[in-house]
């Protein structure tokens, strides 16, 4: 069930009114049932996998809390990690490792295995696995007491607004909101509607609109000039950001209608003045998860420079592999690991957001452009279907040919400008959406009407799956 589909609108029009008339206890039960209906709309069989993850971590966390024996506590945590990562590894990486082994055998002339593994990837498995694992880890670290109610914990894992593409919530933040009584006022409903509208604008009117151009360029990079390839990377940068942040905005808005606040997952990442700041603003729920549950346990920056660089590389390589079972994602992660290591080696200092002089503005602009192009270099590997395609793309960029259609230049400029019109006011005011209560009513009305027209013009009544559903 896609957020940008009429089926979801119908689903929400049933769930929301029912939610408002129920007591808190029955609200959670109804939301849990609705979440399984939502997830089962893709493939009902994967509901058993979701339920299995929930039951294992619920019982393991309770067992960890009941014992004071550190060896037993570690074994129980290992059980949770083995189950969660084992299931994730089988469904997401089994075919990848078999194919990689076949390629390795072929390199040494040893032939290939004559069997293959074809496994359907359950939608959202990377997200809810990490969310459930963070719960057992936090219970093990004694940062959190396990919940007594299976319904509450089941809702924490399966909560449908953020089930299939995040944000990856922490139990310490989301569970209290689930377990306590909630009220929803007119102000929450209005701000939630703004988030949902902005999310649909990003997804449908921007990401879906540029998707055909991106597909055309990345499918045949050898037939494109260097300038056209560069514009293709720019358009993909727009597409993936608006697609994913659009999902997060819709998820946060829908959840706010239920009185449950979800964390902010994006903070205008393309206005970052360095790569460290980019990762503080891009996919925040994943970057902080990797920091707290992987980078810091590896030693973080506490063990000297060389081990700090090692820890950064391991974290980003695994972060790349989390995104997909392909070497292109591993290289993308490794590239960002190199960026972060270089930033730490050089000692790049963060830049203040308050810009007071033309010189500061010029320095900030140059740093933003440099960071954006470093990120775009990584997007080539992220979007390319294979290493061969990525290499063809990069060699094409290096040829410095300039033939390009005027229409593509205009399209790229238009959508980059539209993205900035959304993000720049949010960045300047540190707000979650560009239109605030201080904005004049006729400006808000005109902007919202324009957004609805753009969504209607591009959407045409059908939804395209969000990019991060495949992860």
Evaluate if residue 410 carries a pLDDT over 90: yes
Task: Clarify whether 323 is annotated catalytic.
Answer: yes
**SS3 readout for the chain:** CCCCCHHHHHHHHHHHHHHHHCCHHHHHHHHHHHHHHHHHCCCCCHHHHHHHHHHHHHHHHHHHHHCCCHHHHHHHHHHHHHHHHHHHHHHHHHHHHHHHHHHHHHHCCCCCCCCCCCCCCCCCHHHHHHHHHHHHHHHHCCCCCCCCCHHHHHHHHHCHHHCCCCCCCCHHHHHHHHHCCCCCCHHHHHHHHHHHHHHHHHHHHHHHHHHHHHHHHHHCHHHCCHHHHHHHHHHHHHHHHHHHHHHHHHHHHHHHHCCCCCCCCCCCHHHCCCHHHHHHHCCHHHHHHHHHHHHHHHCCCCCCHHHHHHHHHHHHHHHHHHHCCCHHHHHHHHHHHHHHHHHHHHCCCCCCCCCCCHHHHHHHHHHHHHHHHHHHHHHHHHHCCCHHHHHHHHHHHHCCCCCCCHHHHHHHHHHHHHHHHHHHHHHHHCCCCCCCCCCCHHHHHHHHHHHHHHHHHHHCCCCCCCHHHHC
Evaluate if residue 116 carries a pLDDT over 60: no
Note the pLDDT tens digit of each residue in 62-76: 999 998 889 999 999
Evaluate if residue 346 carries a pLDDT over 90: no
Note the pLDDT tens digit of each residue in 433-467: 777 667 676 676 777 777 777 777 766 545 577 77
Evaluate if residue 314 carries a pLDDT over 90: yes
User: Mean pLDDT in the chain?
Assistant: 87
Note the pLDDT tens digit of each residue in 319-330: 998 888 788 999
Q: Which residue out of 24, 114, 283, 323 is catalytically annotated?
A: 323
- pTM score, whole prediction: 0.90
Evaluate if residue 317 carries a pLDDT over 70: yes
More confidently predicted of 111 and 207: 207
Evaluate if residue 107 carries a pLDDT over 70: no
Mean pLDDT of 144-158: 93
Mean pLDDT of 253-258: 94
Q: What is the pLDDT of residue 461?
A: 47
Q: What percent of the chain has a predicted confidence (pLDDT) above 70?
A: 90
Note the pLDDT tens digit of each residue in 265-274: 999 999 999 9
Mean pLDDT of 239-257: 93
């Amino acid at each position: 069930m896609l957020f940008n589909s009429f089926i979801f609108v119908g689903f929400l029009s049933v769930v929301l009114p029912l939610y408002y008339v129920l007591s808190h206890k029955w609200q959670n039960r109804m939301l849990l049932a609705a979440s399984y209906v939502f997830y089962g709309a893709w493939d009902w069989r994967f509901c058993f996998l979701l339920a299995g993850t929930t039951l294992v971590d619920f019982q393991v966390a309770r067992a960890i809390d009941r014992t004071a024996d550190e060896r037993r506590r570690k074994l129980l945590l290992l059980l949770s990690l083995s189950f969660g990562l084992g299931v994730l590894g089988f469904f997401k990486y089994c075919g990848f490792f078999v194919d990689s082994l076949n390629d390795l055998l072929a390199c040494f002339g040893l032939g290939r295995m004559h069997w293959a593994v074809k496994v359907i990837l359950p939608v959202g498995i990377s997200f809810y696995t990490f969310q459930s694992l963070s719960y057992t880890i936090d219970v093990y670290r004694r940062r959190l007491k396990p919940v007594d109610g299976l319904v509450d914990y089941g809702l924490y894992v399966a909560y449908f607004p953020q089930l299939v593409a995040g944000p990856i919530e922490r139990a310490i933040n989301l569970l209290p909101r689930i377990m306590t009584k909630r009220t929803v006022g007119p102000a929450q409903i209005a701000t939630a509607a703004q988030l949902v509208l902005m999310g649909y604008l990003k997804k449908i009117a921007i990401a879906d609109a540029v998707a055909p151009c991106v597909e055309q360029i990345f499918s045949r990079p050898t037939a494109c000039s260097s300038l056209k390839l560069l514009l293709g990377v720019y358009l993909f940068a727009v597409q993936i950001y608006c697609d994913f942040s659009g999902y997060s905005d819709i998820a946060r808005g829908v959840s706010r209608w239920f009185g449950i606040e979800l964390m902010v997952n994006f903070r205008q990442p393309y206005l970052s003045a360095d790569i460290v700041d980019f990762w503080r603003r891009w996919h925040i729920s994943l970057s902080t998860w990797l920091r707290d549950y992987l980078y810091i346990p590896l030693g973080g920056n506490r063990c000297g420079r060389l081990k700090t660089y090692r820890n950064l590389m391991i974290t980003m390589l695994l972060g790349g592999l989390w995104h997909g079972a392909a070497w292109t994602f591993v290289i993308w992660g490794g590239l960002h690991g190199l960026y972060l290591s270089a930033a730490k080696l050089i000692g790049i200092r963060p830049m203040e957001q308050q810009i007071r002089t033309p010189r500061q503005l010029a320095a900030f602009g140059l740093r933003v452009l440099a960071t954006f192009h470093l990120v775009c270099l990584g997007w080539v590997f992220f979007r390319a279907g294979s290493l061969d395609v990525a290499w063809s793309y990069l060699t094409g960029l290096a040829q410095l040919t300039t033939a390009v259609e005027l229409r593509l230049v205009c399209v790229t400029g238009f959508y980059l400008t539209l993205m900035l019109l959304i993000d720049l006011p949010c960045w300047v005011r540190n707000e979650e959406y560009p239109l605030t209560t201080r904005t004049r009513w006729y400006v808000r009305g005109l902007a919202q009407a324009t957004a609805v027209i753009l969504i209607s013009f591009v959407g045409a009544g059908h939804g395209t799956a969000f990019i991060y559903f495949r992860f």
